[in-house]
Amino acid sequence: MNEYDAKRATGGTRSPEAEPSEPPGVDRRRALQLLVGGTSLGAAAALGFPVAQYLRPLAPDEADSVASLDTEGLGPWDAKLVDVGGRPVIVVNTDAGFAALSAVCTHLGCVVRWKKGRRQFFCPCHGGRFDVDGRVLGGPAPRPLVKLEVEEQAGRVVVRFA
């Protein structure tokens, strides 16, 4: 009796011996779930890593986070753009002494400019304005400019990130 006749004789059902056994290991559905899950995890990591690096604050070396500036020629309310640890900083000679602020706008990272006549920092990209203490006076900037430590030493100003 062949397989067809055996099916007819049993009413169309197969005998347990005739059932094909499941191959050991992972079935197709589980393999597909693992493949899709692994691919999704890899894509999330690939997209998440640059975002995490962007949001992580910089930790500059102590030697790179200090700059010394000669104050000769900096009259009242004059300003000078200097590099401190690879970041632009503006040092302003105010009535109360020297002030140093990060020149990076807190909106989108453009470099701000000092407007002596207005005694304000101005961002040329989107019109943000900041006072000499870094507080936002107008524009889209969400936070004030970062203020740096300033130490005056015999005709020089030493600026460092806190």
How do the domains of the chain map onto residue ranges?
3-55, 63-160
132, 130, 136, 124: which is closest to 76 by C-alpha?
132
Q: How far apart are CA 69 and CA 80, in angstroms?
A: 9
pTM score, whole prediction: 0.59
Q: What is the pLDDT of residues 66-113, one digit of tens each?
A: 777 777 788 899 998 888 878 899 999 888 888 899 999 998 888 999
* pLDDT at position 104: 92
Coil/strand/helix, residue 47: helix
> 96 phi and psi, to 5 degrees?
-90, 0
Least confident of 30-39, 112-121, 147-156: 147-156
Give the DSSP H/E element, type plus range, for residue 23. Answer: none
Q: Is domain 63-160 annotated with CATH 3.40.50.1260?
A: no
Least confident of 34-43, 55-64, 128-137: 55-64
